[in-house]
Structure 1
Amino acid sequence: MEFEHAPNDPTRKDMSPLLKLALELGPLGVFFLFNARGEQIASALPALQALGKPIFLATAAFMVAITLSLAVSLWLTKRLPIMPLVTGVVVLVFGTLTLWLHDDLFIKLKPTIVNCLFGAVLLGGLVFGKSFLGYVFDGAFRLTNEGWRLLTLRWGLFFFVLAAINEIVWRNFSTDFWVSFKVFGVMPLTFVFALCQLPVLQRHALVQEGQDKA
């Protein structure tokens, strides 16, 4: 079975990896900072005290930061990568529910919903012979069909693992611990998992025209 995946777009505009990383991780950093320093920030800006506990202030700041991140990405590249876009939409929806109902349950459920969504789409696509992982990675890699299948399967399962971890953490630990874990636990875990996929990328990489296979 052959797997369809996102084609490379030779006309697309790419941003530097460091800027891309900053745009993706920046909103999380803002979320952590406003939750950790929410009381001090609210004291300096009395208008924000109406939001209540630091988690609600952090949620509002997170929504603003992720909107700005998407806007900058769109301005620089003239397009929005699917993964940040979906994440941003879910953040705005669940963030709004969090602030409107004054219940931090919704923002805590956001990672579970997003990860389950990505996991279901990736694994479901495999059933129909499609690899949507190329869209998640924004066409950054050119792999054989077997490479896409293996990588899609692994990332699909990993997203479900992240969803399960999020459920365990927010249900059993404090809000402050959950926020810290999102930044200092989930991101390093994802980075390590991505590094572990390098052998698959190398083994199943397609040789570009004009290049010799190493």
Structure 2
Amino acid sequence: MSQKSNATLKAVLEYGPLVAFFVAYLKLKDEVFTFAGTEYQGFIVVTAGFIPLFLIATGLLWKLTGHLSRMQVVTAVLIVVFGGLSVWFNDERFFKMKPTLIYLLFGGALGLGLLRGQSYLKVVMEGLMPLQHEGWMMLTRRVTGLFLGLAVLNEVIWRLMETETWVYFKTFGLPAAIFIFFMFQTGIFKKYALDEESVASEQKPE
């Protein structure tokens, strides 16, 4: 399989379940289903279907790339836990809180690293964009702020707005916010980028 095909398949596996969740929600949001004498709103039924779909996509992604990042593993665990709680208790609030906890965990982990003078973000993303230490520290501070801000924003939206608004926010708002954020970080990437010789010297065993 070509690199282009691999990249396309990887994107489908990463974003396909989220798009499927969005489409299914729009179709079933006003429906009520009865299982074992208990009524479930469309959101809960869609959530129940999303969990195995996400796990299958994650498993295929692992098979395709040969690895999963810590972020992907943690996200999968939280989706199973909070999605499962929503289905078990027939309460959509658990699933809506999931992004908040994800961003708090990641933001907290990055913040802990900063307090220790380290960039845990470098461990995850170094292969994608080699930077000098100062660049990684600056970028990590900004990403930490982004994650904490998104956690607060998710709480505000799911608590104060309609479920449909939250679904649109989860499907399009969060990915767009992260994409736009990194688009505005080009100054860091240009100023602190390592040249090929520097990258080779860092990777050279002592």
TM bracket (short chain): 0.7 to 0.9
Partner of 1:33: 23
1:189 and 2:186 equivalent? no
SS at match of 1:92: helix
Partner of 2:202: none
Structure (1 or 2) with the greater helix fraction: 2
Could you give the per-residue CA deviations for residues 145-204 of structure 1, whole angstroms, max 9, x where no partner exists? 001001111001100010011011001111111111111211111111111112211211
Provide TM-score, normalisation by structure 1.
0.82
- The change in CA–CA distance for 1:209 and 1:14 in structure 2 (over 3 A counts) is farther
Could you give the per-residue CA deviations for residues 8-47 of structure 1, whole angstroms, max 9, x where no partner exists? xxxxx9984433332222221122112111269988xx97
1:93 and 2:81 equivalent? yes
CA distance in 2, matches of 1:138, 1:177: 35
Partner of 2:58: 70
One-letter amino acid of the structure 2 residue matched with residue 96 of structure 1:
G
SS at match of 2:196: coil
CA distance in 1, matches of 2:117, 2:178: 26
Provide TM-score, normalisation by structure 2.
0.85
Q: How far is 1:61 from its partner?
A: 2.1
CA distance in 1, matches of 2:7, 2:182: 15
CA distance in 1, matches of 2:94, 2:192: 40
Partner of 2:137: 149
One-letter amino acid of the structure 2 residue matched with residue 33 of structure 1:
V
CA distance in 1, matches of 2:19, 2:187: 30
SS at match of 1:52: strand
The structure with higher relative contact order (CA 8 Å, sep 6+) is 1
Quote the sequence identity (%): 35
State the aligned residue count. 197
Partner of 2:97: 109
